[in-house]
């Protein structure tokens, strides 16, 4: 008789809490958007101020270029009593101020110049100052006429080109300021209206949808809870019935057939002693006795496979050792066993489920993976057990690795060894393994390692709850 399960908690409370959280989130989002719009308006004001300072720096650059033009005009005036080198100090002062103005303009510029514009300004300035340095060098060597000729031919043209470029930037900056300000204002107003409409519609939709969801979910979850309870109980009963049946069959094989075959072997031995040495009958009796002994060994092996009595006597780790020693002969695959454990006793009610998962996993490797080798890893710690079965075969189809709720039909087809072949049989075997993992509060993962193949990983907590769940299955 199965113990009654505690009633499931209704999801209505969680759904109502989720609705409250959603509404609070929407309200908070409205407040946040309003704050962001106000911040954007402040940013617009700051950008306008920044654009104004950009224009001031451009005017400063233009003023420096005009001073250079006036200085070059004075340098070309033949009535000036000063040599050309006298203007070198003024050029250096203007150059320092121009460099500083360009630097500040680059820091406050709203729309950065394109790479071509930056390259053009830098190139023109570099050429202008190189030409100026050459002119002053000519003047220092007494070639003032040549220097004035260079001013007319080169320096004035470069200064005019720089003034034109700066004037274009001023015009572009002013036009961009007006256009950007109007566009930004229009965008802010439109976004603000859309946000208000969106929030109103969202609030209405959330309220209506949430109320409907709560109403329908209460009925759906009630049905699912009932079906889940029935499925779990059926699964427990099927597994308990199967284990009980296998235990009885194993006991009958070991006790009845084992004793009969042992008695036959003993009788054949006594009969052989009464036959003369060298007689053909004595050789036949010896051969029959060997056949009986082989049958006895096979019956005992089958009995252990159906229900290993060694599990109650020596524990899970010894049972795994024994089983893996017989796998290569039974299934035709080579198994590498890696064990990393401490002395942690494992209850037999948990151990039988771990053992069945190992059986089914290796059975799948032999029948479906196409691999000739497998690796089994068993890690037992004081609080948990982990079993891994890995192969390098074809892998498991994606639809069979789905970790959805197992079907009770899968429990009845799982066994030692599994029946049938193909994806359907393999899928049902995986469902049965997941069911067993769930019955001991564990988890089962079907993974694909980076190198390919399949990795089956079972994790079982060695807690009182897991033991109680397994015990409940065994006595269901």
User: What is the count of structural domains for the chain?
Assistant: 2
Same domain? 190 vs 325: no
> In the prediction, which pLDDT does 234 show?
78
Q: Is residue 454 in a domain?
A: yes
Same domain? 173 vs 322: no
How do residues 196-239 score in pLDDT, each as one tens digit? 887 787 778 778 777 877 877 788 888 888 887 787 777 777 77
Same domain? 208 vs 325: no
Of the three residues 158, 178, 212, the one that is the final residue of a domain is 212
Same domain? 207 vs 330: no
Give me the CATH number covering residue 463: 3.30.565.10
Q: Is residue 275 in a domain?
A: no
Q: Is residue 291 in a domain?
A: no
Q: What domain range includes position 408?
A: 310-475
Same domain? 319 vs 450: yes
Q: Is the pLDDT of residue 422 over 50?
A: no
> In the prediction, which pLDDT does 424 show?
42
Same domain? 49 vs 156: yes
Same domain? 471 vs 330: yes
The band of 24, judged by pLDDT with boundaries at 50, 70 and 90, is confident
Same domain? 77 vs 200: yes
Same domain? 204 vs 57: yes
The band of 115, judged by pLDDT with boundaries at 50, 70 and 90, is low
Q: Is the pLDDT of residue 448 over 50?
A: yes
Find the range with the poorest average confidence among 229-233, 236-240, 252-256, 346-350.
Answer: 252-256
Of the three residues 212, 244, 262, the one that is the final residue of a domain is 212
Q: Is the pLDDT of residue 65 over 80?
A: yes
> In the prediction, which pLDDT does 423 show?
43
> In the prediction, which pLDDT does 376 show?
92
Q: Is residue 236 in a domain?
A: no
> In the prediction, which pLDDT does 29 show?
74
- If you average pLDDT over residues 399-406, what whole number do you get? 48
Percent of the chain topping pLDDT 70: 80
3-state SS, one letter per residue, for the chain: CCCCCCCCCCCHHHHHHHHHHHHHHHHHHHHHHHHHHHHHHHHHHHHHHHHHHHHHHHHHHHHHHHHHHHHHHHHHCCCCCCCHHHHHHHHHHHHHHHHHHHHHHHHHCCCCCCHHHHHHHHHHHHHHHHHHHHHHHHHHCCCHHHHHHHHHHHHHHHHHHHHHHHHHHHHHHHHHHHHHHHHHHHHHHHHHHHHHHHHHHHHHHHHHHHHHHHHHHHHHHHHHHHHHHHHHHHHHHHHHHHHHHHHHHHHHHHHHHHHHHHHHHHHHHHHHHHCCCCCHHHHHHHHHHHHHHHHHHHHHHHHHHHCCHHHHHHCHHHHHHHHHHHHHHHHCCEEEEEEEECCCCCCHHHHHHHHHHHHHHHHHHHHHHCCCEEEEEEEECCCEEEEEEEECCCCCCHHHCCCCCCCCHHHHHCCCCCCCCHHHHHHHHHHHHHHHHHHCCCEEEEECCCCCCEEEEEEEECCHHHHHHHHHHHHC
Q: Is residue 273 in a domain?
A: no
Q: Is residue 288 in a domain?
A: no
Q: Is the pLDDT of residue 321 over 80?
A: yes
Q: Is residue 204 in a domain?
A: yes
Same domain? 459 vs 340: yes
Q: Is the pLDDT of residue 4 over 60?
A: no
0.85 exceeded by pTM: no
Q: Is the pLDDT of residue 1 over 60?
A: no
How do residues 139-182 score in pLDDT, each as one tens digit? 888 888 888 888 888 888 888 888 888 887 778 777 777 776 77
- If you average pLDDT over residues 53-73, what whole number do you get? 83
How do residues 262-310 score in pLDDT, each as one tens digit? 778 777 777 777 777 777 777 777 788 788 778 877 777 777 677 677 7
Q: Is the pLDDT of residue 410 over 50?
A: no
> In the prediction, which pLDDT does 400 show?
56
Of the three residues 212, 246, 264, the one that is the final residue of a domain is 212
Q: Is residue 90 in a domain?
A: yes
């Amino acid at each position: 008789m199965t113990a009654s399960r505690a009633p499931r908690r209704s999801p209505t409370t969680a759904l109502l809490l989720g609705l409250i959280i959603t509404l609070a989130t929407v309200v908070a989002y409205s407040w946040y958007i309003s704050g962001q719009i106000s911040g954007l308006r402040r940013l617009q004001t700051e950008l306008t101020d920044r654009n104004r300072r950009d224009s001031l720096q451009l005017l400063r650059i233009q003023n420096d270029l005009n001073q250079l033009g006036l200085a070059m005009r004075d340098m070309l005036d033949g009535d000036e009593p000063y040599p050309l080198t006298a203007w070198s100090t003024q050029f250096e002062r203007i150059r320092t101020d121009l460099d500083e103005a360009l630097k500040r303009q680059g820091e406050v510029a709203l729309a950065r110049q394109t790479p071509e514009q930056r390259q053009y300004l830098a190139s023109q300035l570099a050429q202008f100052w190189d030409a100026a340095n050459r002119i002053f060098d000519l003047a220092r060597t007494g070639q003032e006429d040549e220097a004035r000729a260079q001013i007319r031919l080169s320096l004035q043209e470069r200064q005019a080109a720089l003034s034109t470029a700066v004037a274009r930037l001023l015009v572009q900056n002013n036009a961009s300021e007006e256009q950007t300000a109007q566009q930004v204002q229009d965008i802010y107003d439109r976004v603000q209206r859309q946000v208000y409409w969106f929030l109103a519609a969202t609030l209405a939709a959330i309220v209506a949808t949430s109320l409907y969801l709560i109403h329908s979910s209460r009925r759906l979850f009630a049905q699912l809870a009932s079906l889940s309870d029935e499925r779990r109980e059926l699964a427990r009963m099927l597994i308990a019935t199967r284990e009980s049946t296998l235990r009885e069959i194993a006991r009958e094989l070991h006790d009845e057939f084992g004793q009969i075959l042992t008695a036959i072997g003993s009788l054949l031995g006594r009969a052989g002693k009464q036959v003369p040495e060298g007689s053909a009958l004595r050789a036949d009796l010896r051969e029959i006795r060997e056949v009986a002994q082989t049958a006895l060994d096979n019956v005992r092996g089958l009995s252990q496979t159906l229900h290993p009595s060694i599990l109650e006597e020596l524990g899970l780790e010894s049972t795994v050792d024994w089983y893996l020693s017989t796998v290569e002969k039974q299934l035709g695959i080579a198994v590498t066993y890696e064990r990393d454990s401490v002395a942690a006793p494992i209850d037999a009610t948990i151990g039988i489920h771990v053992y069945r998962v190992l059986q089914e996993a290796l059975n799948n490797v032999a029948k479906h993976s196409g691999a000739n080798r497998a690796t089994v890893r068993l890690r037992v710690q004081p609080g948990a057990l982990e079993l891994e079965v890995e192969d390098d075969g074809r892998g498991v189809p994606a639809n069979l690795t789905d970790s959805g709720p197992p079907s009770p039909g899968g429990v009845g087809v799982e066994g030692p060894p599994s029946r049938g072949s193909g994806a359907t049989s393999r899928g049902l075997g995986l469902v049965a393994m997941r069911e067993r993992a769930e019955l001991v509060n564990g988890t089962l993962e079907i993974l694909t390692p980076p190198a390919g193949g399949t990795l089956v990983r079972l994790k079982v907590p060695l807690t009182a709850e897991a033991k109680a769940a397994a015990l409940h299955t065994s006595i269901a």
